[in-house]
Amino acid sequence: MTKNPIKSHKIKNNKSSQDQRLWEHVTASVKPLRDSQKNRVLEQEVLPTIQNINVKVTKRIELAPMRSDELLRPLSLPELSHSTLTGLDKRNAKKLKKGQHPIEGQLDLHGMTQELAHVAINNFIESSYRGGKRCILVITGKGIKTVGSVGILRLAVPRWLNEEPNRSRVLAFSYATPRDGGEGALYVMLKRKR
């Protein structure tokens, strides 16, 4: 059985256009070296000589074409909590915990159902981020429960802050100081708008 030359030609052209798009994506941020830097090789780059390297190629990997929305998708971000302020340096983390950042917006969730509060916090985070605000206060309330239990919104808000699209906009959060609501409120530090 012979191959159809038209079909094999189309497949080759398709692969080469995919390769070309990938190559353009990879080289988009490459800057050419100055003449004084060309052909320079650092000693560390030469140390593992070709004789010492045994490479065995077992299978060629075909890359699927990338969609533009895949290029913009954020990598998996670490989960935020009250005790870990990994997105901030020590000075700003300390300022956030002490409530020393100016509060540029406030959302009070008292009296809202869980569904309404979820929509409200998503809209508030989005509008605050778009408005260039950095530190906002979200008041969850402590919840009216039996001794030792915690209110539903107080438990849900940190989870919502860790869900997309909020997580891409939130840098860190911490319980508020007593003057701003204590454990019934959160300081939320937003990322800078790009």
CATH of the domain at 181: 3.30.1370.110
**DSSP letters spanning 108-154:** E-TT--HHHHHHHHHHHHHHHHHTT--EEEEE------STT---HHH
Statement: residue 128 has pLDDT above 60? yes
Statement: residue 58 has pLDDT above 70? no
Same-domain check for residues 37 and 118: no
**pLDDT tens digits along 130-189:** 999 999 999 998 876 666 667 788 889 999 999 999 999 999 999 999 999 998 999 999
Total number of domains constituting the chain: 2
Same-domain check for residues 63 and 87: no
Statement: residue 6 has pLDDT above 60? no
- Whole-model pTM: value is 0.58
Same-domain check for residues 55 and 86: no
pLDDT: which is higher, 132 or 49? 132
Same-domain check for residues 103 and 184: yes
Q: Are 174 and 187 in contact (CB under 8 A)?
A: yes
Same-domain check for residues 100 and 163: yes
Same-domain check for residues 89 and 153: yes
Q: Are 114 and 166 in contact (CB under 8 A)?
A: no
Alpha helices in the chain (DSSP H): 5-27, 43-46, 68-72, 90-97, 114-130, 152-161, 166-169
Same-domain check for residues 37 and 98: no
Range of the domain at 23: 5-71
Put the strands of the sheet holding 185-190 in their side by side order. 105-108, 135-139, 185-190, 170-175
Q: Is 129 exposed, middle or buried (0-12, 13-18, 19+ CB in 10 A)?
A: buried
Query: pLDDT-derived band of residue 190, with 50, 70 and 90 as boundaries?
Result: very high
Please give the average per-residue pLDDT across 14-23, as a whole number.
74
